Each structure stands twice: as structure tokens, then as C-alpha cells.
Amino acid sequence: MASQKRSGTTGWPKDQNSYEPTYNGNTNMTLHRTISLYPLTNYTFGTKEPLFEKDPSVPARFQRMRDEFDKIGMRRSVEAVLLVHEHGLPHVLLLQLGTTFFKLPGGELKAGEDEVKGLKRLLTETLGRQDGVKQEWIIEDIIGNWWRPNFEPPQYPYIPSHITKPKEHKKLFLVQLGEKALFAVPKNYKLVAAPLFELYDNSQGYGPIISSLPQALCRFNFTYM
């Protein structure tokens, strides 16, 4: 079979420099999201009275979840992803309890409570300053939805096909920090800055949700201020 001569005008892209996507003419799509990250040294960390969990143990937590599910239905939770940078690398602020337990700031919403207002309330309760100065929390975007199918620890970034009534829905929100801020950390917690490379693929150390943050955040462009 005779070989066909390739033309210099065929193929894609013909001119890489001239290619501009149209996105179907939708100019409102947030295709390029930029988040400003400020140095960890810009932030001041004080302390305040301890903040204790509602439940004394894991079994007690799931028993309360069962009791509330019968009364008000699925639990709704919200958590905040707060980002800073250190040495030119993004870091996530995590609450550390003891030596091995890490969590994102946030918690349970009240029945009928708005998600954004509830997250701001929880952030103020957890990290809000104590000198009467109002803390501004800028909720930037939703970066994840996680579902608890049963009254058990496992959570998934989807609803399993055989589950018709999930027991908990947890939303993760990216919060844009200001250039400077004062955080008051409960005495029984430490606020630590964990680099994304340490979280990546490290569910053994941080659990499935926190370890998935590098993938959830990779669609954003970070500007180091």
C-alpha cells in the first residue's frame, strides 16, 4: 500500500499560539480561580478556654446521631479549609487534638441553619478572637461533599448506590483569609500548618477527607503574597 504524504496543514492544533478556547460562549464560568495566600508569619495565635466535643466517646457520638436522625433527619456538617503559605508552599491550618488526631475547623449545623452563616458561627466559636473585634470570614467556594451512609466512621465523596438515606452530609468550604488575622485557639487544641505535600496520599496519618485536599485544591491558582 502506498504511503500517504502528510500535509503540513493537517492535524490539531494547527497553530498552538492562536488557539483560544470558547467554552461554548459562557463567559461566566469560573475557569480560572485565583486564591491569595499570605505567609504564616502574618497571623497571630492566642489561646482561649478549652472547646470540648459534644460526645465523650465515638459510640456516644453515633448514638446521638441515631437519636437525632429519628427526630430531624440527616446531620449536616460544614468544615473550613484555611490556607497560608510557608517557604512558597501552600499549608492547611488544622486543629490537632492529642498527638494523632487532626480535624478541620467546623462542626454540625443547627436544624434549618444556613450553611454559610453556620460555618461563620462555627469558625467564630472555634477560632474567633476574644477581644470583641469582629472576625471577617470570607467563604470562597465549596470544594467537597462527603457522605456518611451509616452510623459508622466511613465517609465517601459520593452516595453509595444502595443508600437512600445518608446519615450525614459534610461540606468543605474554602475560606479566603485576610492579609493578617488574630486567631484564638482553644487550650485543648493546637493549630498546626500542614503542607499539602504532607497531606497528599496520607490517609493513614490524616484520614480520607484531609488527605484528599491536595486533589480538591488543585483547580485553584495560588498567588503568594
Spell out the domain ranges in the chain.
34-222
The CA distance from 46 to 36, in Å, is 23
- 28/117: higher pLDDT: 117
Q: Across residues 186-204, what is the average pLDDT?
A: 95
Amino acid at 123: L
The CA distance from 109 to 100, in Å, is 26
At the topology level, CATH places domain 34-222 in: Nucleoside Triphosphate Pyrophosphohydrolase (3.90.79)
- 25/204: higher pLDDT: 204
The two beta strands, 138-148 and 168-176, are antiparallel
What is the residue whose three cell numbers read 488543585? 218
In this structure, what C-alpha cell is assigned to residue 164?
Answer: 437512600
Answer yes or no: is pLDDT of 20 > 50: no
The CA distance from 80 to 203, in Å, is 18
Mean pLDDT of the chain: 87
Three-class SS of the chain: CCCCCCCCCCCCCCCHHHCCCCHHHCCCCCCCEEEEECEHHHEEEEEECCCCCCCCCHHHHHHHHHHHHHHHCCEEEEEEEEEEEECCEEEEEEEEECCCEEECCEEECCCCCCHHHHHHHHHHHHHCCCCCCCCCCEEEEEEEEEEECCCCCCCECCCCCCCCCCCEEEEEEEEECCCCEEEEEECCCEEEEEEHHHHCCCHHHHHHHHHCHHHHHCCEEEEEC
Q: Across residues 10-24, what is the average pLDDT?
A: 42
pLDDT value, residue 27:
46
pLDDT value, residue 203:
94
Answer yes or no: is pLDDT of 40 > 50: yes
Query: Half-sphere exposure of 117 toward its Cβ, with a 13 Å CA cutoff?
Result: 5
pLDDT value, residue 99:
87
> pTM, whole model, 2 decimals?
0.84
pLDDT value, residue 9:
43
- Per-residue pLDDT band at 11 (split at 50, 70, 90): very low
Residues 80, 81, 82, CA angle at the centre, nearest 5°?
110
